[in-house]
Amino acid sequence: MYQQLVEKKQKLAVIGLGYVGLPIALEFAKKISVIGFDINAQRIELMKQGIDPSNELEREAFEGCDITFTNSLDVLREATFYIVAVPTPVDHHNVPDLTPVKRASETIGKVVKQGDYVVFESTVYPGCTEEDCLPVIERLSGLTMGEGFKLGYSPERINPGDKQHTLATIVKVVSGCDAESLETIAKVYELVVTAGVHRASSIKVAEAAKIIENTQRDLNIALMNELSIIFDRMGINTFEVLEAAGTKWNFLKFFPGLVGGHCIGVDPYYLTYKASELGYNSRVILAGRYINDNMPLYLARKVVQHVIRNVDDVKSAKVLVMGATFKENVSDIRNSKVADVVRELQDFFLNVDVVDPHADSDELQHEYGFGLAKETGKDYDAVIVTVCHEPYALLDDAYFASITKPNALVADLKGTYRGSITSRQYWSF
C-alpha cells in the first residue's frame, strides 16, 4: 500500500474538505496523488479554482498539488487509502451529533474495496470509530475489518489561524486495528508530518488522547474564568494577577475568555456523554463546561448593569460588539460565543451593532440571525472588544472616545488595552 501510494499507482482520498480536511489533502497532494471529496458541490467548484472556502489557505497552497476535487462516488472509488475529516458537533442539548461521521461511514461503505485502508480524523469519544462507524462500513461494503479492509484513527490537530503549528510541524498520533495497519498508517503520515508520529497502542487510546487535549484546556480556562468573576468582586484586575503569578516557573499561563469554536467548547461533551453511557456522571468536566458556557451571560449582565446606571432610557442604549469570530484573525464563526453575547444584550432590548474585519455578514445572518453593521456609529453607550483581531490591537483611547458617549464603558475581554483607556470607564475579565 505505502509503496504504491508513493509511486502514484494508488490514490489517497480525504473525505470532508473543511478546516481540517483541505490542509491534509493539499499536504499529501505535494507527495502523492490525492482525491479531495466533499458533498458540497459549491465548495468543490471553489477549490477547483484554487480558493479555500474557509479562507484559511492562500491560493499558493494549491499550487503544485496532484489533487482531484470531486463530489462523485465513482471518482472517490478510485482511492485505496481513505481519510475521514468531517465535523463532529453537538446539538442544542450538548449531545454528540454523529450524523456527519455516520454519513461519511456510509460513503466509505459504498466505495471501500478489498485491501483498502480507512482512517478517521474526526474528534469522537473513545470507542466511536469501532462501535459506531465500523458497523456501518461493514454492513454496506460486505467486508469485515482486518480481512477485508484495515481501520485506523489519527486525531486531527489543525488549529485555525495558526501558521506556526501546522500539520507538518505537529507530532501526529496514529493508531490501527492491528500491528500491520499501524505501521502502514504511520508510514503514510510520515510522508507529510516532519515532526514525526506517535504510535498509539489502540484506536481507543488515540481517540481518548484527542478528547482530553481539549478537555484539559477547557478546564484550565474555566478556572481562569471563575477566578475573574471572584477577582472582579474584589476589585482586582485578573490579567495583573496572572502576570504576577506567571513569574513562577511552573505556573500554567491560561487566560479568561469566551470559549467557542469547534474544539474546546464541544469535545468535552463527547467524553461526558460516553461516561454517562457507562454509568459515570462527570463532575469536574461538566462544572468547567457550565462556567465557560455561562460567561456570555455574565458579560452581558455587566454591560447591562452599566447601561442601567448611566442611561435614562435603556431601550435607546447602543452597544458595539467588536469581533464575531470565535478567535482572533480567523473567519471561523463556528460555535462563536459572541453570538450568545449579542442575543443576551438584545434580550435586554439594547440596540447592538456588530463589526468584524474577517467574518462574513451573510454567514452570521444565516447561522445566528444577525449580520454585520455597515459602518461603526459614533454614540455608543458601551463597546465590547470580544476578539482582538490584528487591526484592533492598534486602536487607542482616542479611538474609543470618538465612537462613544462620555460615560461609556469599554469592555476589553482580552485585556488588550489595559492601562491605556483613560477617558472612558474600563472593564475586563
Catalytic residues: 263
CA separation for the pair 35, 66 (Å, rounded): 9
Q: Which three cell numbers stand for residue 89?
A: 458537533
Residue 176 β-bridge partners:
152
Nearest 5°: phi and psi at 230? -65, -45
CA separation for the pair 327, 237 (Å, rounded): 22
Q: How many CB atoms lie within 10 A of CB 107?
A: 23
CA distances from 124 to 58, 172, 263, 270, 335 (A): 29, 16, 11, 6, 17
**Residues 6+ positions from 260 with CB-CB distance below 8 Å:** 326, 327, 334, 335, 336, 337, 338
CA dihedral for 401, 405, 409, 413, sign (positive or negative): negative
User: Is-contact 26 62, C-beta < 8 A?
Assistant: yes
DSSP symbol at 393: G
Q: Which strands form 318-322's sheet, in the order they lie side by side?
A: 351-355, 318-322, 380-385, 404-412, 425-427
Q: Using DSSP, how many helices (H) and how many strands (E) does the chain show?
A: 16, 13
